[in-house]
Amino acid sequence: MSIVPSLDDWNRQSVNVMQAMLGMISPNFRMVTLDHDGTQWIIGFVLESVNAEDREELADFEAEWDALQSGPTPRDLQVSFTAGSLAWPSAPTRALYRRREVMLIQE
């Protein structure tokens, strides 16, 4: 069964992601996004490189996010690693965090 989250749902889950992230963001984190596919929330993390400490933080994030829910809430945590350029996510995906990066312009 497909559902369409309300604006209140989007806002609540955005705040929940941000609350669960408190203290976990390292310089390795490039972007954090929130999306919904009709059945579950998709929380995306883009990291620059594989790092054991950040992996542990992501495991803690899952427990923190689950604890902020009012009941069982389907979710999928997606972690990717890239040092290449990042595209801004298209709607309805929300970018909740994106680190400042210097873009070099080639002439």
Domain, as residue range, for 14: 7-98
Task: State how many domains the chain has.
Answer: 1
- Residue 29: CATH number of its domain: 3.30.300
Q: What predicted TM-score, i.e. pTM, was given to this entire model?
A: 0.90
CA distance 31 to 96: 8
Q: What is the largest CA-CA distance in the chain?
A: 54
| pLDDT, position 3 | 85
| pLDDT, position 104 | 58
Query: Would 50 be classed as within a structural domain?
Result: yes
Mean pLDDT of 11-26: 97
| pLDDT, position 2 | 74
Query: pLDDT for 25-73, tens place per residue?
Result: 999 999 999 999 999 999 999 999 999 999 999 999 999 999 999 999 9
Number of H helices, E strands in the chain: 2, 4
